[in-house]
């Protein structure tokens, strides 16, 4: 099972039965990237470029990878999360 970290705008909705759901393009991207994580030699945690930009001082990221995400046109740039850096 892979994990993904994505950053962006979402809509949070309270659905019938007290279910909370997040909707938006970034949710779909995160879900699709998580499905690629840990496969074909990729890191178990993948992060989008936006996440790398805001967290690059706190975490170490591997080399960029270009992946194709189902439901999107073009490629997405992702980075494997390698480790947290000491503060």
- In the chain, where the domains are located: 3-84
* pTM score: 0.84
Nearest-angstrom CA–CA distance, 45 and 11: 24
**Token pair for 30:** 């995160």
Q: Return the pLDDT at 83.
A: 72
CATH 3.90.1150.10, domain 3-84, yes or no: no
Task: Compute the radius of gyration of the chain from its Cα atoms.
Answer: 14
- Write out the chain's pLDDT in tens, 87 residues: 799 999 999 999 987 887 898 999 999 999 999 999 999 989 999 999 999 999 988 889 999 999 998 888 889 999 999 876 655
């Amino acid at each position: 099972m892979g994990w993904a970290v994505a950053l962006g705008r979402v809509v949070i909705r309270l659905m019938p039965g007290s279910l909370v759901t997040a909707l938006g393009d970034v949710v779909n991207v995160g879900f699709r990237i998580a499905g690629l994580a840990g496969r074909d030699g990729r890191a178990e945690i993948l992060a989008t470029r936006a996440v790398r930009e805001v967290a690059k001082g706190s975490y170490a990221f591997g080399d960029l990878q270009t992946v194709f995400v189902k439901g999107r046109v073009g490629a997405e740039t992702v980075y494997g999360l390698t480790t947290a850096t000491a503060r």
